[in-house]
Structure 1
Amino acid sequence: MRAAIETEGHCMRLLLVRHGQTPANVDYLLDTAVPGPGLTELGVRQAAVLPQALVEEDIEALYASTLIRTQLTAAPLAAARGLDVLVRDGIREITAGDLEMLPGDTEHGELYMRTVFAWAAGDLGLRMPGGEDGAEFLARYDAVVAEAAASGAQSVAMVSHGAAIRTWAAARAHNVDVPFAAAHRLANTGTVVLEGSPADGWKALSWAGATVEPAGEAGPTGRPLTDPAD
């Protein structure tokens, strides 16, 4: 089993896992409202194999957002490890606001992704049309991460959402920048592994199974900067 490396202070291994596939993912819709849809048949299968995919991780605490899809994704892992799923609103998807349920593979999705990556670049006052701003998003996500770190757990998994994970990682991990996050879309049940602490900062160790390398130029993420919120 892999465990967090001890450095000065408490160093935590943090696994940010995107939920399984939903009907809105299939249709490329900006679907962010609570409680949201469940999983597709493929999403259920993805959740079922998550325990095996993370078998080498010594997970001590498991979180999910207030959206049904993350809780359904976390359930097989919770059962396999004998863990309770700690449901927290702070790690839900970035609110689409006025863009809710609009097509994500159009200018609507481009605006959504442009906004969240602007937050990661430091423009925290920019507001999603009809939704939250960057400071509000990072504050709620940071609060859940801080709670997990304060628990003393060495390794924590959080089942969250694609845009939220990519934006938070780009804003908080010192070796992940916006071009990297924009160029690396996270597939359903894809995992970003980080190590660090709220006090000392974070380093991304792997992104969807690949070691994190220095980011190059910004590029498309399957559908250029128009990933549907999930």
Structure 2
Amino acid sequence: MRLILVRHGQTPSNVDFVLDTAVPGPGLTALGEQQAAALPEALADEDIEALYVSTMVRTQLTAAPLAAARGLDPVVRDGIRELSAGDLQMLPGDSERARVYMRTVFAWAAGDTELRMPGGENGVEALARYDAVVAEAAASGAGTVAMVSHGAAIRMWTASRADNVDVPFAAAHPLDNTGVVVLEGSPTDGWKAISWAGAVVTPAGEGGPAGQALD
């Protein structure tokens, strides 16, 4: 299966640079709406057969133009929502306490899945819910599936599950709003990242370290 993970469009909380992970969350800014409107053209070469969104408003608004263009009914699943900030909710993203959020996220990707976000979920729970939605999509028989999800969740899941993306790469490459990660594989055979925000990802053992992007 070809799996296209898309970060949602810009939100007011993105502009204010605060950790905002509660459901249903904010909508899109005017720029976010423009980013969403550009998605059908950006993904024009992808033969998308199924479209998934999270329970958060921003993913549903981001996916709407793509759904309309392709005649798809988005499937809403809680499992691909953003990683819960717990007690860190609404803290400024550049504060020392807020930095605990991303440190925890990448600790999960590195294998420390028993670690718990302060007041929130642990890595076992976060990966299990995301895995469940991916497994559902794979079982549907669709050849290409798009999921409009969230930046931290996409980076954590990809670094955990893609054979050729390591934690340092995912940590060093944030996804802009409507940034896209494309993977191929299956829950049983594993996953390889094909591209990250438009840059090719070198397969491990083929000319570079795991997760090396080639511009």
TM-score, normalization by structure 2: 0.94
TM-superposed deviation, 1:216: 7.8
Is 1:116 the counterpart of 2:116 in the alignment?
Answer: no
1:9 counterpart residue number: none
Q: CA deviation at 1:20?
A: 0.1
Instruction: Give, as a single letter, the amino acid of the residue that structure 1 aligns with 2:65.
Output: P
1: CA distance, partners of 2:210 / 2:139: 31
Aligned pair 1:102/2:127, yes or no? no
Q: Describe the shift of the 1:147–1:122 C-alpha distance in structure 2 as closer, same or farther (beyond 3 A).
A: same
- In 1: Cα distance, 2:187 partner to 2:163 partner: 12
Runs of 4+ in 1 over 4 A off after TM superposition: none
Partner of 1:51: 40
The residue type equivalent to 2:58 in the other structure is R
Gaps of 5+ in 2: 203-208
TM-score by length of structure 1 reads 0.88
1:109, distance to aligned residue in structure 2 (A): 2.6
C-alpha displacement at 1:106, in angstroms?
1.6
Equivalent residue for 1:134? 123
Percent identity over the alignment is 79
1:93 match:
82
Deviation at 1:212, TM superposition (A): 1.1
Aligned pair count reads: 206
CA RMSD of aligned residues (A): 1.1
Corresponding residue SS for 1:202: strand
Aligned to 1:15: 4
In structure 2, give the amino acid aligned to 1:17. Answer: V
Q: Is the 8 A contact 2:6 2:147 kept in 1?
A: yes
Residue of structure 2 equivalent to 1:3 = none
2: CA distance, partners of 1:117 / 1:33: 20
Runs of at least 5 residues in structure 1 that lack an aligned partner in the other structure: 1-11, 218-230
2:161 to 159, 164, 172: 172
Q: CA deviation at 1:87?
A: 0.4
Alignment deviations for residues 74-115 of structure 1 (CA, whole Å, 9 cap, x no partner) = 000000000001000000000000000001112123110000
- Which residue is 1:197 aligned to? 186
SS at match of 2:38: helix
Counterpart pick for 1:143 among 126, 132, 137: 132
1:124 match: secondary structure = coil
* Greater relative CO (CA pairs within 8 A, separation 6+): 1
